[in-house]
Amino acid sequence: QSALTQPASVSGSPGQSITISCTGTNSDVGGYNLVSWYQQFPGKAPKLMIYESTKRPSGVSNRFSASRSGNTASLTISGLQAEDEADYYCCSYATIDISVFGTGTKVTVL
């Protein structure tokens, strides 16, 4: 099972919106509406930001939203803030009962 493809880096100015893509195959992203997204700061464990493709856990800002279309999932950060600067990873359910992560995207706030 290959890793899902994400852009290595995405940047934006404070207040702007950015979108991170996550591309897989029919055996993972495209086959199931089960993508999760994680935020990770250097030296820390990842934090769940989105689950079941579009749902936010309690406590996660509504500036974070996600969608899925075909084999590509997307995470959008609206009203970008300096505190959003981190690495972001997508993760999909894959056939059969396994989990596959994306390659990761470094978000830089200019």
Partner 1 sequence: QVQLQQSGPGLVKPSQTLSLTCDISGDSVSRTSAAWSWIRQSPSRGLEWLGRTFYMSRWYNDYAPSVKGRITINSDTSRNQFSLQLNSVTPEDTAVYYCVRGDKRFVNTFDFWGRGTMVTVSS
Q: What are phi and psi of 77, to 5 degrees?
A: -110, 115
Q: Do residues 91 and 65 lie in contact, with contact meaning Cβ atoms separated by under 8 Å?
A: no
Q: Do residues 14 and 109 lie in contact, with contact meaning Cβ atoms separated by under 8 Å?
A: yes
Q: By CB under 8 A, which span of 11-19, 60-68, 69-77, 93-101 interacts with partner 1?
A: 93-101
**Which residues have a Cβ under 8 Å from the Cβ of 80 and sit 6 or more positions away?**
12, 13, 14, 15, 16, 17, 18, 109
CA pair distance 27, 92, nearest whole angstrom: 10
- Footprint of partner 1 on 31-90 (CB under 8 A): 34-36, 38, 45-48, 51-52, 57, 89
Site size for partner 1 (CB under 8 A):
25
Amino acid at 88: Y
**Residue 26 lies near partner 1 (rule: CB under 8 A):** no
**Residue 91 lies near partner 1 (rule: CB under 8 A):** yes
- Nearest residue (CB) to partner 1, 27 versus 80: 27
69 forms bridges with which residues in the sheet? 72
**Residue 93 lies near partner 1 (rule: CB under 8 A):** yes
- Nearest residue (CB) to partner 1, 36 versus 71: 36
Contact set with partner 1 (CB under 8 A): 1, 3, 34-36, 38, 45-48, 51-52, 57, 89, 91-93, 97-104
